[in-house]
Amino acid sequence: MIRYVRALTDAGPRVGRIDADTVDLLDHDEPLAAIRGEGTVTSSAPLASLALLPPADAPEIWCAGVTYERSRDARLEEAETDARDVYALVYEADRPELFMKDAAMRRTVGPGGAIRVRRDSRWTVPEPELGVLVGESGAPVAVTIGNDVSSRDIEGANPLYIPQAKIFAGACAIGPALAVPDDWSAPFTIRLRVTDSDGAVLFAGETSTSKMQRTPAELTGWLLRDNPVPPGSVLLTGTGLVPPDAYSLEPGHVVEIEIDGIGILTNTVAS
């Protein structure tokens, strides 16, 4: 699996191809071009020494919801109205739930960046997800890690509040790398670990994309139906890991999401 990162260098942002623990930096900052094999290596640096940026400067970030049975069950549990049936219905339906999470990276951070919680929410959780990078043809060309930070109490109060539950400053993180799978049908293992400011583990869990109701390719196909999504955008494909109801993100908590073949996305909750 080939992996790429974006890093801040003396010459500005640059894309680099990972070779073991080293990054071969290219002469441009265009991830899609790098995936096509375009660009000249200008320098190399240890991966650990680089200040990593979000792996794609995505013009749009979209999310798919209720793509895992665990996610469906969690939505049913949190729902406070009779509209809770919509979650069960969309899980079984042909048409998936899709919504825009961000545009122009206004609410999204990269590896090491600060995620946030809404001031008017009492119950906010991380949602670890496989992200898909959309190419010029609309087909998936690479994958990354995403964190769809969500206010469960706001969404649970009314499904029409989903934009407020999902879209706010610091509500999304992507990174640390883009990976081009050797086999797009192979499942990915996703791990979530949340610790407090002292390093104590508050939650840890693991799932697999093999448990998804729909494939990433199917979700991307629905996203592009009559919808001019710009190349370089990212689609987060839903979460299968939900912390217990007693847990909520708080300032100082550290969220680590690991997907085999991509890396570990680490973010701290800001005050």
- Express each pLDDT in 33-62 by its tens digit: 999 999 999 999 999 999 999 999 999 999
Domain 2-53 has CATH 2.30.30.370: yes
End-to-end Cα distance, the chain: 37
Secondary structure class of 148 (helix, strand, coil): strand
**Average pLDDT for the chain:** 94
Distance CA 95, CA 108 (A): 26
Helices assigned H by DSSP within 55-102: 69-78, 85-92
Q: Is 180 helix (H, G, I), strand (E, B) or coil?
A: strand
Give residue-wise pLDDT tens across range 81-116: 566 677 878 888 999 999 999 999 999 999 999 999
As a whole-number percent, the residues of the chain with pLDDT over 90 amount to 87
Q: Which distant-in-sequence residues (6+ apart) come within 8 Å of 55 by Cβ?
A: 4, 5, 6, 31, 110, 144, 174, 175, 176, 177, 178
What pLDDT is stored for residue 75 in this prediction? 58
Domain ranges of the chain: 2-53, 60-269
Question: Residue 72 has what pLDDT?
Answer: 54
- Residue 89: predicted pLDDT: 84
Comparing 3-12, 39-48, 66-75, 192-201, which segment has the lowest mean pLDDT? 66-75
Q: What gap in Å lies between CA 56 and CA 133, rounded to an integer? A: 8
2-53 and 60-269 in the same fold: no
Instruction: Look up the CATH superfamily of 60-269.
Output: Fumarylacetoacetase-like, C-terminal domain (3.90.850.10)
The vertex-101 CA angle with 36 and 79, nearest 5°, equals 135
